[in-house]
Structure 1
Amino acid sequence: MERQVFIRLRHRLQADPNEYITLGNIAQVAGDRKYKEKLEQLFVYQVSPSDQNMVVLDVIKVIEIIHQSFPDLDVQTVGSSETIVEVHYSKKRLSPVFFIAVWLLLFIGAGLAVMNFHEDVSMREVHIRLYEMITGEVDHYPYLLQVPYSIGLGLGMILFFNHLFKKRFNEEPSPLEVELFKYQLDLDQYVAMNENKETTKDLHDH
């Protein structure tokens, strides 16, 4: 009697160099309990130096590996057709001097961008006009408006990005996190299409 199992490949997996990857690492397995544990321990791939940073495991190859050990097993796939394995190499510790230099560069660049924007929209003139409308007096340095505005600008940026250093204010993702998520999806799609040997076969290969 033919047994049936369902597998759903995980979208992304981090692995160490030369690590042995099993089916349980790259997929969720459901179905006949008799096969579930054996399938989860089934060897699928070993990371090698030639893989560099990324390797794509295709669902067809996974099914072939399963059928080599369990030829009569009916394997049904759900979800993604490939798993992206990201090879995680140990990173060198960042130099404090380099970190401070980058931080200063970004800080000064962001400050200049804000100041140039305010100059383009004539923010100083707007504050002077608002101060005149509220108090009836002309003040070319309306600190009563400029100081609260500057504080509010900083607080607004903190609330907008939903972060204060490593602290989150709520579970809602910030616009930056959403954009990074979209970028990661596009990058994963590109890797899946270009690194998957099953989708990039050369018709002239023999």
Structure 2
Amino acid sequence: MSGRTQMSEFCEAQNKRKEDIRMAIAPDTLYLKIDQNVVVDNCQVHLQDIASMECTNEAVLRQLKQKKIYTFQEKDTEKKKKIRIQVFSVLNIIKQIHEDYPNLEVCNIGESDFILECKAGVTENKALEIIKTVLLCVIIFFGAAFTIMTFNNDVGVADVFSRLYQQVIGRESDGVTEIEIFYAIGMPIGITIFYNHIGRKKVTHDPTPIQVEMRKYEQDVDTTFIENASREGKSIDVD
């Protein structure tokens, strides 16, 4: 058994040596792409969990996918029940790759810095989320209604409609007219078309204005978080 073990280790060493020689002669290229914000569900973070990769050497690619790059403290995560966040520089990831494959050429086509969020051990309180959603809907509904009423009062929409009705029909309005009715019908239709959203369905395939603004907000938050971590020295970077 010992002879077979030694023979197996010798063969592996020879294969590794051949691979190193081949890479030294014609180095392979690894294309690495990491998004600005990456969310994982495991404290043990591997390279395949955070990056999209393509390499000219399939064997190297398989090994790198299983490479562990960071470990969140499980005890702290379970105790706090909160999302753990860590800022990384892609140079640190490239450094860890070169520890195993020093001759591998790495081409980064993603972000230069990114945020790694760990949700392991975090449980969502569905009841609390429902309460927040209901309160938010109530606030938005009454807030929007109050805004529309104050706008109509400030610009004098009632007077405008009354004068318009008198000019077109030839007599004074006696309260609610066709203009007010069509105005009340057209306003929700216009809002629906503008926001491109009816429940879970969309009028068109284009992103809604809210989705566009939320995406901009998320990008600004991530950029600010990365810059603050870099200034405070909390970002994991190369020495």
User: If the length of structure 2 is used for normalisation, what is the TM-score?
Assistant: 0.75
The residue that corresponds to 2:123 in the other structure is: 90
For 1:174, give the aligned amino acid.
Answer: T
Q: Work out the number of aligned pairs and report it.
A: 199
Shift of the 63–100 alpha-carbon distance from structure 1 to 2, 3 Å rule, reads: closer
Residues 1-206 of structure 1 mapped to structure 2, 5 A cutoff: 1=24, 2-16=27-41, 18-31=42-55, 32-48=57-73, 49=76, 52-88=83-119, 89-95=122-128, 99-196=133-230, 200-201=232-233
Query: Highest Rg: 1 or 2?
Result: 2
Deviations 1:145-169 (A, max 9, x none): 1111111101111111111111112
For 2:221, give the aligned amino acid.
Answer: L
Bigger strand share: 1
Q: Is the contact between residue 7 and residue 77 of structure 1 (CA under 8 Å) also seen in structure 2?
A: yes
Deviations 1:17-54 (A, max 9, x none): x5221111211212222311111111111233379542
Q: CA deviation at 1:115?
A: 0.3
**Distance between the aligned counterparts of 1:109 and 1:28, measured in 2?**
44
For 1:5, give the aligned amino acid.
Answer: L
**Distance between the aligned counterparts of 2:96 and 2:208, measured in 1?**
41
Q: CA deviation at 1:140?
A: 4.5
Gaps of 5+ in 1: none
Q: Which moved more, 1:73-82 or 1:181-190?
A: 73-82
**Distance between the aligned counterparts of 1:139 and 1:132, measured in 2?**
7
Percent of pairs identical after alignment?
25
Q: CA deviation at 1:139?
A: 0.9
Shift of the 87–102 alpha-carbon distance from structure 1 to 2, 3 Å rule, reads: same
RMSD of aligned C-alpha atoms? 2.2
SS at match of 1:168: coil
Bigger helix share: 2
Q: Is the contact between residue 162 and residue 173 of structure 2 (CA under 8 Å) also seen in structure 1?
A: yes
Shift of the 101–61 alpha-carbon distance from structure 1 to 2, 3 Å rule, reads: closer
